[in-house]
Amino acid sequence: MTIALYMDVHVHRAITIDSRLRDVYVLTAQEDAHFSNFAPVQV
């Protein structure tokens, strides 16, 4: 089973790196070019 995560700009880089070392597919907001200084409201 594959796990995929989307990391917001507020997630520490070390968490992203460690997740990738554990074979988790990670896409960061910076890589996706959708980053900003505010977090969207989740409903």
Higher pLDDT, 35 or 3: 3
Write down the pTM of the prediction: 0.66
Count H helices and E strands in the chain, helices first. 2, 2
Contacts of 36 (CB under 8 A, 6+ apart): 9
Look at residue 7 in the predicted model and tell me its pLDDT.
Answer: 92
Q: Report pLDDT digits (tens) over 8-40.
A: 889 999 999 999 999 999 999 888 876 555 566
Reduce the secondary structure of 16-30 to three states and give it as a string. HHHHHHCCCEEEEHH
